Amino acid sequence: MLRGLWSAATGMAAQQLTIDVISNNLANVNTVGFKKSRSDFQDLMYQTLSQAGSVTAAGGEIPSGIHIGMGTMPVGVQKMFMQGDFKETKNELDLSIEGKGFFKVLSGEEELYTRSGNFKLDSEGNICTPNGDKLQPEMTIPSNTISITIDKTGTVTAFDPEGTGASLGVVELYTFSNPSGLFSLGRNLYRPADASGEAVSGTPGSDGVGTIAQGFIEMSNVDVVEEMVSMIMAQRAYEINSKAIQTADSMLQMANNIKR
Amino acid sequence: MTSASYTLIDAFLTQQNRFNTISNNLANINTNAFKKDSMSFNQTLSMENISITDFSPGPLQYTGNRLDVALGGQGFYKVQTPRGIEYTRDGAFSLNGDRLLVTKNGDSVLGKNGPIKIAEGNVSIGSDGIVTAGNQTADTLVVVNFKTPRLLKKGGESYYRYQGDAQDVFTPENISIQQGYIEGSNVNPTEEMIKMIEIMRVFEATQKAMQSVGEATDKMINDVGILQ
């Protein structure tokens, strides 16, 4: 049967994947610390029907042969760790990272990483994510604290009613050699993988690690206009591949009708 | 009669191959740096068809990703794959766990001194291909071109293999690498749709011709020589 029928089918499947990725990006357009994804494609193998350089029956040389491609395939859906916009909340436990780096949290027994800095306090005064995963290194805010300040370099100071400040420690940030290689778990959490490399701890503001801004949250880095344009492109590409399938169908029908 | 049907079968097969090529182009309409193919008739009378890759540049799309590098002009990146040296124009690179610059398949992109190791810090890739990471120069991306580009064979996975002589590979002058961009596919949907209509109609005409040959043969066998 026509190879083109299957090539067009891979084209439709690829555009479907693009729509899946775009839909997820758009669904998370207001998710704190969300990073958008992008799908990348490559062409599939080529079948050589005649080899370049071989000699024809007439004695001439075939200049470039016939290579027929088999369609396209998805090769990666990659997170794009570009900076999201900042939104001022004035909430003293809303932290955002300006630049590179991730917060480390303890989810059950496992150390995971996140960029969403909308932290809360649990009943024991520990700083934790909205899911209750404790920020690492752990910090307990004394019960008589009336305000907390966290400076650019991550130093946490708690003030008691008399106005005396006590330093509680430093919020460390962690960087990866290839953040795109991190495994996305959902719930804004990432797990290190072979492709991402090991987490390297750093003090905010030094060694290329970003700084912390208190009272701000990092919004999603999804750009709605860009996603809409991608969606148009994916939809039209889907449509044109379906036309190729219709054409293949008509051609096969004609072939069937040669014999009446 | 039979010679006419063989000519027509050849016409069918040609149109099928043209269609397969177009279908592959359309499937790769959103593939990074994909170059469209077309089938062409050989000028000689040997009836051989050839596929030709059109290396005209695709549109550049801004991504802002520091490891997306598009080649502005002619040329190809050099990649070390398990099958040997291959070439690509798809500049959507990534880093692996060893901090080496790799393609999406995990194969090392080659610089003047071999695989490129990127140190910690911000990566910047200049228009001349110089890779700087954390204020120190890592390497220079190798960009090559070919004296006879028609000897480049597509290997799939956006790679090309060069089947000509090694001395035909040269470094072009005035390369322009754009960081933060990827090159799109150079497939033009309108052109492909028109070709597809054309193919379908030629296919249809061939089918009609085949039916006429069939009818004529039918007459020859069943009607000629009947005494009334």
Interface mutation target, options A258, A259, A260, chain B, most CBs of B under 10 Å = A258
Comparing CA positions, the residue from B109, B88, B89, B112 lying closest to residue B99 is B109
Phi, psi of A183 (to 5 degrees): -90, 120
Interface mutation target, options A49, A68, A235, chain B, most CBs of B under 10 Å = A68
Phi, psi of B93 (to 5 degrees): -90, 175
Q: What is the DSSP letter of B138?
A: E
Yes or no, beta carbons of B20 and A18 under 8 Å apart: no
Yes or no, beta carbons of B22 and A66 under 8 Å apart: no
Nearest beta carbon to residue A46 from set B97, B156, B199: B156
Nearest beta carbon to residue A63 from set B25, B96, B150: B150
What residues in B contact A16, CB-CB < 8 Å? none
Tokens found for residue A5? 């029928």
The answer to whether B37 faces chain A, any CB pair under 8 Å, is yes
**Percentage of chain A exceeding pLDDT 90:** 52
So what's the pLDDT on residue A139?
86
Yes or no, beta carbons of B95 and A63 under 8 Å apart: no
Q: What is the mean pLDDT of chain B?
A: 88
pLDDT of A16 higher than 90:
yes
The mean pLDDT value for B138-143 works out to 92
Yes or no, beta carbons of B20 and A3 under 8 Å apart: yes
The answer to whether B107 faces chain A, any CB pair under 8 Å, is no
User: Count of alpha carbons within 13 Å of B50, Cβ hemisphere only?
Assistant: 21
pLDDT of B45 higher than 70:
no
Tokens found for residue A94? 């809303």
Q: What is the DSSP letter of A2?
A: -
Pairing of strands A165-170, A46-50: unpaired
Does residue B57 have a cis bond before it (omega within 30 degrees)? Answer: no
Provide the sign of the torsion angle of the four alpha carbons A97, A101, A106, A108, taken in this order: positive
| Closest Cα in chain A, distance from residue B139 (Å) | 18
Q: By the 8 A CB rule, do B24 and B148 touch?
A: no
Yes or no, beta carbons of B39 and A82 under 8 Å apart: no
Distance CA B224, CA A196 (A): 80
So what's the pLDDT on residue A260?
72
Distance CA B68, CA B180 (A): 5
Which residue matches tokens 């754009």?
B178
Question: Quick one: closest CA in B to A234, which residue?
Answer: B30
Interface mutation target, options A18, A64, A256, chain B, most CBs of B under 10 Å = A64
So what's the pLDDT on residue B62?
87
Phi, psi of A175 (to 5 degrees): -120, 160
Q: Which conformational region is residue B104 in: left (phi greater than 0), alpha (psi within -120 to 50 degrees), or beta?
A: alpha
The number of angstroms, rounded, from the C-alpha of B199 to the middle of its chain's C-alpha atoms is 21
List CB contacts of A90: < 8 A, sequence separation 6 or more. Answer: A215
pLDDT of A239 higher than 90:
yes
**Percentage of chain B exceeding pLDDT 90:** 48
So what's the pLDDT on residue A199?
87
Indicate the burial class of B2 (C-beta count within 10 angstroms; 0-12, 13-18, 19 or more).
exposed
ipTM score of the complex? 0.72
User: Minimum mean pLDDT among A5-9, B6-10, B143-147: which range?
Assistant: B6-10
pLDDT of A83 higher than 70:
yes
So what's the pLDDT on residue A176?
84
